[in-house]
Structure 1
Amino acid sequence: MVKTNTFDLAVQDGKFLVKHKGILFFESSLTESDIDFFYFNAGWFELLTAQSLLKKYPEDKIYLSVRFPYLSNQIFDKNEVDILINDSGKLVFIECKSGEVKSEHIDRIKNRKDTFGGLISKSILVTRFPLETNVNTHLSKNMVEKCKEYGIEYKTLYELSK
């Protein structure tokens, strides 16, 4: 898969292997699609977020990677939410971002809530780092303001886990 001077990432015999300077550092027996989701598409962050949510919500009310298909085309998904919670009939949409948060991410969060959740639903953006501490301070202020305007609650995984 990937090879650098010190690290070698490979899938061999159905296992994901990470070697450091030729010595096995990590081995995982997930399927190839699960490896892609978990390690390279921040699935690990979504699972940690879901684990934190178990403190407040029962396990059977928390759904991961919920996909909303187009009604006219069942092959493609219209939208996807990282975590969906059924809180006594009120939907809570959780979007997890372990990296940079962009303006279009905030727009999608709002549109998803408006389209699928209605007036009594809510959206929460969970980030790895505080939204206010983005590398670009001007952009950070815009993201915070946009979340407030759209009624999107935001917090870090650390804050959520308290």
Structure 2
Amino acid sequence: MGTIGIDLARHPSYHVLPGDGSIPPRALLWHLDPSILRHDLSEMLRETIARPLLYLRKELHDRVSWRVIVICLVCSPPAFLEMRSLFHIWFLETGMCSVLELCTAMVSSVLDVLLEPMAWGISMELGQKFPFTHAYFPSQQRDLLAILTGPISCRRFMDLVSCIEAMVCLEG
């Protein structure tokens, strides 16, 4: 299976989005061999570490190879959840802020694709096939997610503190 996956990963169609609105082959290949997803994400992380002043949100949109990865994550909620858990594990093991920055940029980009798929070059047919956001963020903490993905400001920080206090009071 590994050699078939490697051969498919080298195929030119692996690095572009299909024009007919079908699911990209990369997302399907991730389901067959999750180590390919791990490899793709680790390559992105290596580039992020090598270029610390990289504006990740812009790079995720403008670099075609990274845009394909983001769109494939949108097409596959299980792969997106796997990506989040991989980044979480890598962050806990290394403590590198680059891991956290890349994870934040990826989550933000996925939310952006879900909100405006055509701005990312996605056909209307493929955009209509995307699941709802609860498939990507299965928790009940929608308010907390909105605070964490918004711009950083004093007001947002105060909202975060009050949201966490309310959650603690409900659990206590």
What TM-score, normalized to structure 1? 0.34
Computing the radius of gyration from Cα coordinates, the structure with the larger value is 1
Structure richer in helix, relative to its length: 2
What TM-score, normalized to structure 2? 0.32
Structure richer in strand, relative to its length: 1
